[in-house]
Chain A
Amino acid sequence: MKDLNQLVLKVCLYLLPLVILAAGIEYTARHLPNSYILKKECFEDYLDKNKLEVLILGDSHVLHGLDPREFSMNAFNMAEDGQFLEYDLGLLKKYRNQMPDLKYLVLRVGTRAFFCQIDDTPDMKQAYEYTIYYGIDHVPWNIENHLEIFHIRGIEKRLFGAKKMREEYEPSLLGYVPHLTQDKSITKEYVCTGKPDCNCPGLRRVRTHLPTKPEEGWAANTRYLEEIIQICREMDVKLVLLHCPCMDCYRAHQNEEQTEHLRTLCRSLAAENKDIYFLDLLDDPDFVKDDYYDVNHLRDIGAQKFSKKVNDYLLRIDGQ
């Protein structure tokens, strides 16, 4: 027994510096700015000082596509890259009591958002950010979502770039992250045949967005949508379901059956509920090739156009 006690003690002593190091890294990582921390600070500051009227939720399509400064009402863009409906709902629940003047919730809809679940996508790697910084837990519970220490790859970049990141974060953009004109992603010429064997960037991107379990994804995401609708009703907020534009080569390879399924749901929700609206800009011909940063994301000039259209739509609803 003495030998055993000694070994246990020795192992504890061996692990002690590692535990202290891990705790230090955890503490440091939680205090290093990243887009989630900065956005949260900015949003909470905005809520303290302003009466928020339009809240934008969704993924990268609206994060880079909707500029709240183009809106006539007080708006804030709370979208994030790969933000699924589960987290849109979580954010709405978290801040519902701090948004008494909210009139509109603009919620992006899309086949990926409705047929995929975060667990089946690479975006799962950022689920912990919502747990740690917003307190939105993911089901099933996983300890890795509660600790930064499990996600410390590249922490040195965060450590050395912390000051610069905080300085460069622009609160006046109100959560919007523009893809600048000079940063256009697609530089090579390509031909899209629209066939399954074509080698255009649209097909390559669609492939990365394919759901692994579409039925399960649909069931889970429509449940989240129902909850969002319920909360909007309780808050007396109008819900605008927004179908974002994309380039033809992306559109040509999308699963048409899933797209129509989603459209049918949105149309029926809008038809049956006077406080739900559906703005479908997926096939809007006003968006041309130069408006895009890549196959499914707008760049700044496209975002300006997109934001104006959404704003006009909100004004039309407001005028009714």
Chain B
Amino acid sequence: MLFNSLEFAIFLPIVFLLYWYIFSKNYRWQNIFLILASGVFYVFWDWRTLPLIIITTFSTWLCGLEIHKARQNQTPKGSHWYQSKAGLISAGNIVLNLGILCVFKYYNFFAQSFADAFQLFGIHLGHTTLHLILPLGISYYTFRAISYSIDVYRGQMEPTRDFLSFFAFIIFFPLLLAGPIERARTMLGDFLRKRVFDRALAVDGLRQILWGLFKKVVIAGNCDLFVDKCFKANPGGLDASVLWTAIVLYAFQLYADFSGCSDIAIGVSKLFGFRLKRNFNYPYFSRNMSEFWRRWHISLMSWFKDYLYIPLGGSRGGRWKTIRNIFIVFLVSGLWHGADWTFILWGGLQAVFILPLVLLGTSKQYKNTVAAEGRLLPSGKEAFSILTTFVVFCFGLIPVRSQTVGYAFQYFCSLFDPSFFTSPGGLKGNIIVFILIMLVIEWLQRTQEHGLSELKIKSKFLRYALYYALTLCIFWFGGTQEAFIYMQF
């Protein structure tokens, strides 16, 4: 059941009405109902992987309690995690969760890569390929579970004794498809108290859902046709102008798809009384790559920062250690996105793009500011920085969309050809119009949480005209692509 499907359009109102009218007596009933609704949502995909999420939930919940107990009875033995019972339990839980993730997502990739590596030395290794279905949202709920056990181990949060609330947190259906990776320490508390209907929050949620649907269905859906055609063809046989257009459209497709999915997930959560953090903060208005990565997939990047970058030493161990840590974070991030060398290459490229900023000490230059603050239009310098950052990001996307590393290299080389100055054939004008609409709205709203929050349009008539226009666009100009790109990650 996708967010942009008819099934979900029927499912959501039913769940919403039952949740508030029937099950709002106390938080336990609310949680039990959310578990049931999420179970239905999950089973719509594939019931066979449901036991996995139950195993993850139960083991993590139990480990949380055990870690807490061990911490209370702990006598200081040493500063390392492996010198304490709590540390060992936490590590065991991480190994279990990552183990499940690795088997389902990475086994085939690593087995094939090992076999290929040995093949280089003339050693033939036979390996078995597993034909496993990728459980829905495994990368997302595994990371949520891991962050819980680490936070409990670090003493940053108390474990919960309420299994149902914890289960409701892990299986919460809006976050199953493609996150955001909400932490237990910020969200679990909401599951442990009764949610009271907040009309303003629900209305904002509806607006956010509308904006997310517009981005997903109209922009991502229409870009897909052109992009898919180009990336299936031999890049050498296409004009450079077509290749440039395809990669720019892919950048917009990826953003519209993923930020659209996040907007819908956050909007739906608001309908049920949960206020989640934003997952995107208008990344295409970033002025350098460092700012970009503070604004793109915020929940994942902050996860990696807290649970990988900082434990590795962050930027405290000198320049070389910082560089090493940045590479590790981005390479792991690439691997998280997909079990393929193309994703690892993508991660490596992102680290390379950030490197000059780290070396020059300008990586924190645009922290907590927005482009053209207090002005309608950016200055020439800002516009140039925004455009340059966008182009750099586009280059980095080539491996993500390519089937192989060789194809990505061929695509990259074909970009620099005199045919760049030709007109890209097959590009429909309406795609450009829709992208411009999105960019204009998001630019005007760049200090707000999402494209339709707290609109500055005074006239109620005009506001509703905009809502209706977006709704009609979704029905009339919806593209062909249905599934969310980030679901496969």
What is the interface of chain A, defined by CB distance below 8 A to chain B?
Answer: 1, 3-4, 6-8, 11, 14, 17-18, 22, 143-144, 152
Contacts and interface: CB of A to CB of B under 8 A. Distances in A.
Contacts of B464: 14
B197 A4 contact: yes
Contacts of B150: none
Contact of A6 (B199, B467, B472, B476): B199
A144 B478 CA distance: 15
Nearest to A144: B6
Contact of B6 (A7, A11, A143): A143
A4 B20 contact: yes
B199 A11 contact: no
Interface of B is mostly: helix
B162 to A, nearest CB: 26
A111 to B, nearest CB: 24
Contacts of A17: 468
A143 B202 CA distance: 29
A3 B206 contact: no
B202 A7 contact: yes
Task: Please tell me the size bucket of the interface on B.
Answer: 10 to 19
Given A143-B6, A152-B476, A7 B471 contact: no
Interface in B293-341: none
A3 B6 contact: no
A17 B467 CA distance: 13
Contacts of A18: 468, 471-472
Interface string B188-199: 000000000111
Contacts of B206: 11
The 4 closest A-B pairs by CB, nearest first: A3-B199, A4-B197, A4-B20, A7-B199
A123 to B, nearest CB: 15
Interface in B165-213: 197-199, 202-203, 206
Given A152-B475, A152-B476, 7 more contacts: A1-B197, A3-B197, A4-B21, A4-B197, A4-B199, A14-B464, A18-B471
Nearest to A18: B471
Contacts of A3: 197-199
B196 to A, nearest CB: 10
Contacts of B17: 8
A314 to B, nearest CB: 43
Nearest to A153: B476
Given A18-B471, A143-B6, A7 B203 contact: yes
B465 to A, nearest CB: 12
A22 B471 CA distance: 12
Nearest to A2: B199
Nearest to A8: B17
A144 B471 CA distance: 19
A3 B203 CA distance: 11
Contacts of A7: 199, 202-203
A7 B468 CA distance: 17
A7 B6 CA distance: 22
Nearest to B21: A4
Nearest to A25: B475
Nearest to A22: B475
A11 B203 CA distance: 9
Nearest to B202: A7
12 contacts: A1-B197, A3-B197, A3-B199, A4-B20, A4-B199, A6-B199, A11-B206, A17-B468, A18-B471, A22-B475, A143-B6, A152-B475
Contacts of B203: 7
A79 to B, nearest CB: 27
Nearest to B10: A143
A242 to B, nearest CB: 35
A3 B199 CA distance: 6
Contacts of A143: 6
Nearest to A149: B475
Most chain B C-beta atoms within 10 Å of own C-beta, residue among A3, A11, A22, A143: A3
Contacts of B20: 4
A170 to B, nearest CB: 33
A129 B44 CA distance: 27
A11 B476 CA distance: 20
A18 B472 CA distance: 8
A6 to B, nearest CB: 7
A143 B6 CA distance: 9
Interface in B449-479: 464, 467-468, 471-472, 475-476
Contacts of A8: 17
B199 to A, nearest CB: 4
